[in-house]
Amino acid sequence: IRLNSSKYVPDFYGCEKDWAWIVFPWNHREDMVNFIGKILGEEGKAIDKIKEDLKTNFNIDLNILEIEEVLDHIRYLDSVKK
């Protein structure tokens, strides 16, 4: 990638092959809120379906208790926004 407005012309280029999201321990809950939020969209889903979609779409394997905790946190965040 090169900005056309840049005066510098690189002497090498690379291409991005794979992309991965890194979930850091201090940001785990926020990332899970975002991933599960993407899965839920505007509609609710069963916890088993959320678990399956997390694995399929993001290669994330959470247990049922962890998913319930994230869903509780999402409900809390929604109540704070109001």
Q: pLDDT class for 20, splitting at 50, 70, 90? A: confident
Is the pLDDT assigned to residue 9 strictly greater than 90?
A: no
**Token output for 3:** 């900005």
What digits encode the pLDDT tens for the residues 29-68?
999 999 999 999 877 889 999 999 999 999 999 999 999 9
**Residue 35 structural domain:** 25-81
Q: Does residue 73 fall inside a structural domain? A: yes
Q: Does residue 1 fall inside a structural domain? A: no
Cβ(7)–Cβ(48) below 8 Å: no
pTM higher than 0.95? no
Rounded Cα–Cα distance for residues 77 and 21 (Å): 23
Q: How many domains does the chain have?
A: 1
- The contacts of residue 66 (CB under 8 Å, 6+ apart) are 32
Q: Does residue 63 fall inside a structural domain? A: yes
Share of residues in the chain with pLDDT > 90 (%): 61
